[in-house]
Structure 1
């Protein structure tokens, strides 16, 4: 059964969004300093691990904020598609950073299992409690913006992971206070690292897909061609390229074959195809090279330049 593909976005005022990001960066930097000091004093690897991740949150927010500003620049002769992909590149950097941090934490946790060290649980619990509050505040500041931007979503997920990490650190500190089980500290670090890695690998694929000019994941390429072929006067569509310009815009470029006897209506047919692509799939940028059926490409492939 046919279904329409429409993208619903929740736009946040750019100035308000920038203010939220600056506020989130400030609180995360302050928290990082507190967590590092607390981790050193208490001897908690989980606390230092959480601080490292929290610092990466601050950096991810800085990267997101800079990319957000760059993305607003208009198209030019040098950058005809504009700068919107700056946000996609920023997301790739942030997810890659998350993966590096996750691997580092796994290595550190394994070393702590092999060489256990004492942990002062009460300091861990207090600072992790403060961290949890800051993480939740930061997540709230960026939540609405994350719906509309892969860039902000990457930074937002940094903070979600941090909030869960803080909960895990609180649990570890409490267990150490009650039972003296210091092995819980590296065990919790492994859990934090595992979640970070799972989250990063789950999200990075869609970012790479955009940068590799892949087709939009919510569109079935076969449906796009079939829809064009339903239009009266269309004899075929080939050498098609369907790709994402950025997270919000898709584009279609193809050779459109006009049936014999219909060339006088070529402009109308082209207009009908563009209108159908916009209303049916939300594809606003469509470039078509028109061919009459008698002189169309011989045995062309549907997708690509072959």
Structure 2
């Protein structure tokens, strides 16, 4: 009886920790989405726009994860499946933007790209640090960690794109990086969906 009670207390404590972490990273990503999407349109950067969509997807993902944190494995797997679908939709949107920019080329404002991708890198680094201890706890938290890890790669890529836009005075580095980020998003979507389907079997 005591052992049962102890296990229940440990589980409750773990869920409380997960909730606390998810609330923090949800707010960080929601605020960064608003800032970066405005910067992306102002700076006319597809790579930065894909970065902002990442933040939006993460904010939605964290909200869903928060909802299912105290639910069973099936509910968490279904939430992860939905997250995978969201990542896939974001990838498709970025691909659409890349195609549009190929036919309507523009040189983005590299200063805006660099500044806001650096801000995003700091914010996502903090999120990754907060999520690190939860990365192997369950499918819900591991899929959240996957999203956060993608963001770091995305921020670094946009920084690289900003430097290349400045150096070459061309919009093509922005398009190339955005295309690579779309591939990263597609790959991440597949991993999350595959893990969720494995849990649902």
Q: What residue is the counterpart of 2:168 in the other structure?
A: 179
> Of residues 89, 107, 114 in structure 2, which corresponds to 1:100?
89
What is the number of residues matched between the two proteins?
Answer: 190
Deviation at 1:177, TM superposition (A): 1.5
Query: 1:111 matched to which residue of 2?
Result: 100
Larger RCO of the pair (alpha carbons < 8 Å, separation 6+): 2
* Residue of structure 2 equivalent to 1:279: none
TM-score, normalised by the number of residues in structure 2: 0.89
| Match in the other structure for 1:62 | 63
Residue pairs, 1:13-162, within 5 angstroms: 13-69=14-70, 71=71, 83-162=72-151
SS of the counterpart of 2:170? coil
Distance 1:123 1:101 in 2: 22
**Inter-partner Cα distance in structure 1 for 2:102 and 2:137:** 42
Q: Report the CA distance between 1:129 and its aligned residue.
A: 0.1
Structure 1 segments (4+ residues) deviating >6 Å: none
Distance in 1 (CA, whole Å) between partners of 2:40 and 2:89 is 21
Alpha-carbon distance between aligned partners in 2 of 1:48 and 1:169, rounded to the nearest angstrom: 10
1:24-50 residue CA offsets vs partner (Å, 9 max, x unmatched): 011111111110111121111111111
In the alignment, what sits opposite 1:249? none
Q: Name the SS for the 2:141 alignment partner.
A: helix
Instruction: Return the structure number with greater helix share.
Output: 2
Distance in 2 (alpha carbons) for counterparts of 1:137 and 1:22: 13
Q: Structure 1 length as normaliser, TM-score?
A: 0.60
Following the alignment from structure 2 to structure 1, what is the Cα–Cα distance between the partners of residues 48 and 167?
18
Q: How much does 1:23 deviate?
A: 0.6
* 1:252-267 mapped onto 2 (5 Å cutoff): none
What are structure 1's unaligned runs of at least 5 residues? 1-10, 72-82, 214-306
Post-superposition CA distance 1:253-290 (Å, at most 9, x none): xxxxxxxxxxxxxxxxxxxxxxxxxxxxxxxxxxxxxx
Are the equivalent residues in 2 in contact too, given 1:68–1:86 (CA < 8 A)? no
Q: Does 1:196 align with 2:185?
A: yes
What is the aligned-residue RMSD (CA, Å)?
1.5
CA distance in 1, matches of 2:144, 2:30: 14
